[in-house]
Amino acid sequence: MVALQAKKRKINLGKYFDFPRHTPLRARTREAIAGYIFVAPAIIGFVILVAVPIAASFTLSFTNFDMINTPKFIGTDNYQTMMHDPLFWQSLKVIAISAFVGLPLNLVLSLTLAVLLNHQVRSIAVWRTVYYLPTVVAPASIAVLWVWILNPEFGVINGALRAINIEGPNWLGDSHTALGSLIVVNLWAIGSNIIIYLAGLQGIPTELYEAAAVDGAWGWKSFRYITLPLLTPVIFFTLVLGLIYSWQWFSEPFVMTRGGPDNSTLTYLLYAYRNAFVYFKMGYALSLVWVMFAIVLILTIFVFRSSSRWVYYENQEGM
C-alpha cells in the first residue's frame, strides 16, 4: 500500500530509507573527528603534564616519600604531623601577615599611582614606562639589587641615614625589620597592576565626570562616586590575582633571607621547598602544598561570594 501510494505521488523512498554516502550527519561526524584530532595534542599534553602530576602529588601526600626509596603509604600522618609542627604555624603566620598587609598596600599604592599617571601631562609616557620597567626584571635580580640597597654597612639607605646622623638598622638581619623590608621590596614591582588600573580608568566615560562637574563634584567626590564604583571590577580582578600570588611568595625570601633570621621570613612555599629539597621529605612537602591550595581556594571563594556586595557592573540589573 505504501509503495503504491509512493508510486502515485512519485515519491522517492530512497531518500528516506537509503542514506547516501555524503549526508549532513556523517559530515558532522567527520568534522567532529577532525576537531578531536586537532585538539588531541593539547588534551594529551594537559593530561600528561598537568592532570597526572596533580593526581600523583595528591596521592604522594599520603606517603612517606624521600625521592629515593619507594613511597610508603602512611595515611593522614603527614597532615597530623603538620598540626604539631611549629614551623608550619610560623610559615602560616608569616604568609598571612604578608598577604593581609602587603596585598592592601599593593592595591592602594598601585591604584594611587594609576590615578596620577592617568592625567595627560608632559612626559607622562616616560613616567608610565619607569613605573612598569621593574615588572620585566626577574624577581631574583630585583632581590639581589635590594640586598645591596639594604646592606647595613654599605647600603644606599643606611648611607643616606648616616648622612643625617642616623644609624640605620640591619634591615634583613633583624627579625623585627626583615619581614617588613621584604614586604616593601615586594611593592617594587607593582607596574603590572598600574597598567591594569590605567586601562580601567581610561574605560570610564568622560561624560560622567563632566556631568559631575556641572553639579559641583570635583576631586575626591568624583573619585568616590564615579571612579571607584566603576573601577570595582578591576579591583576585584587584581585582588583575586594578588591573593593567589601572595600565598606563593618565594623568590624574594629565598634569595634575600633564606627564611631568616629566626624564621621571621619563612614563607609557606619556602618551608615546603625546604622539606622537599633540603630535608627530602617530599610526601610532607606535598601535604603542605595541598593545605595551601585548600586555604587559597577557600579565600578565593569568599572573595567571589562577597563580590556581589561591592563590585559594580554597568549592565547589572537594578543598578
Domains and CATH numbers, the chain: 85-310 (1.10.3720.10)
Q: How far apart are the C-alpha atoms of 111 and 209, rounded to whole Å?
A: 18
Residue 57 has pLDDT above 70, yes or no: yes
- Tally Cβ neighbours within 10 Å of residue 170: 17
**pLDDT average, residue stretch 33-40:** 90
For residue 268, give the nearest of 298, 242, 290, 240 by alpha carbon: 290
- b/e map 192-203, b = 16+ CB within 10 Å: ebbbbbbebbee
CA–CA gap between residue 272 and residue 94 (Å, rounded): 14
Question: Cα–Cα–Cα angle for 205, 209, 214, nearest 5°?
Answer: 140
State yes or no: pLDDT of 129 exceeds 90.
no
With beta carbons less than 8 A apart as the criterion, state whether 170 and 257 touch: no
* Section 165-188 average pLDDT: 92
- pLDDT confidence band for 130 (50 / 70 / 90): confident
**CB neighbours (10 Å) of residue 280?**
15
Rounded to two decimals, the pTM is 0.83
pLDDT for 28? 82
Mean pLDDT of the chain: 87
Q: What is the 3-state secondary structure (H, E, C) of the chain?
A: CHHHHHHHHCCCCHHHHCCCCCCHHHHHHHHHHHHHHHHHHHHHHHHHHHHHHHHHHHHHCCEECCCCCCCEECCCHHHHHHHCCHHHHHHHHHHHHHHHHHHHHHHHHHHHHHHHHCCCCCCHHHHHHHHHHHHHCCHHHHHHHHHHHCCCCCCHHHHHHHHCCCCCCCCCCCCCCHHHHHHHHHHHHCHHHHHHHHHHHHCCCHHHHHHHHHCCCCCHHHHHHHHHHHHHHHHHHHHHHHHHHHCCCCHHHHHHCCCCCCCCCCCHHHHHHHHHHCCCCHHHHHHHHHHHHHHHHHHHHHHHHHHHHHCCCCCCCCC
In tens, the pLDDT along 189-247 reads 888 899 999 999 998 888 888 888 887 777 788 888 888 999 999 999 999 999 999 99
